[in-house]
Amino acid sequence: MNQQHIKTVLFDLDGTLADTAPDLADALNTVLLNNGKDALPFEQIRPVVSHGGIALVSLGFGIEPDHPKFEPLRQQLLQVYADDIANKTCLFPGMSELLNNIESVGMNWGVVTNKPAWLTEPLLDALNLSQRAISIVSGDTLKERKPHPSPLLYACEQAGSQGFECVYVGDAERDIVAGNKAGMKTIVALFGYIGTKDRPETWGADALLESPQAISQWLQLN
């Protein structure tokens, strides 16, 4: 498949660009223990991470957002996470090389995440990526969030590309829905936080890839 028209590669953050699950799992377990609950095994937490703090609180405490204790617990979780946001977080194996390959051929790359900016920005700073990304769009940058296509189209505009010149890589169905609505090519990062009940083959992506190395090959960068 010829991908020579692709100028910009956009990445989801959690579970695609960076492996943030260890730090988010530690934060959830800290809040659970602080509230008299048992910690959960990492394997149970990992598939939920891409769905954010609401999903993590629901998993840990078995309550829904309309519960009176829900929002205070979510705020506890976010603050504990923010206080130690990049302790164990790192790029997925092969991702650093993928970013280097993208830049070496004159393409650019950016990040589009539903994570709020007050968490996104210090995390990307800690990973030394803020100055390299052509665009960083957080969950509160615009009124709309994924699966709405606006954040992706905004990132395209910042990158100087049109929708058909971009590819979006993500590990959740909302990522693929947003990318398709924006007229982009879409890739499912199968190395991300795919749950056992997820069926990524039904999401309508152009490719389902097992590693950053496979993304590099799909983009014909090596």
Under 8 Å between Cβ of 45 and 56 = yes
Q: What is the mean pLDDT of residues 135-155?
A: 97
Q: Are 10 and 110 in contact (CB under 8 A)?
A: yes
State yes or no: pLDDT of 219 exceeds 90: yes
Give the per-residue pLDDT at 54. Answer: 96
Per-residue pLDDT tens digits for 124-139? 999 999 999 999 999 9
- Contact criterion met (CB below 8 Å) for 218 and 189: no
Place of tokens 């010829």: 2
Task: For residue 80, give the H/E element and its range.
Answer: helix 70-83
In the chain, DSSP assigns E strands to: 8-11, 18-19, 90-91, 108-112, 135-137, 166-170, 185-189, 207-209
DSSP 8-state symbol, 88: S
Query: Domain 8-20+89-218 is of which CATH architecture?
Result: 3-Layer(aba) Sandwich (3.40)
Catalytic-role residue among 12, 19, 26, 175: 12
Residue pLDDT, tens place only, 7-64: 999 999 999 999 999 999 999 999 999 999 999 999 999 999 989 999 999 999 999 9
The reply to whether 12 belongs to the active site is yes
d(CA 162, CA 153): 8
pTM of the model as a whole: 0.95
- Residue-wise pLDDT tens digits, 175-185: 999 999 999 99
With a cut of 70, say whether residue 2 has pLDDT above it.
no
Instruction: Determine the length of the chain.
Output: 222
79 close to 73: Cβ distance less than 8 angstroms: no
88-119, pLDDT tens digit by residue? 999 999 999 999 999 999 999 999 999 999 99
Q: Where are the domains of the chain?
A: 8-20+89-218, 21-83
Average pLDDT over residues 194-211: 96
pLDDT at 1 over 50: no
Is the pLDDT at 4 greater than 90? The verdict is no
Name residues whose C-beta falls within 8 Å of residue 56's C-beta, 6 or more positions apart in sequence. Answer: 24, 28, 45, 48, 49, 77
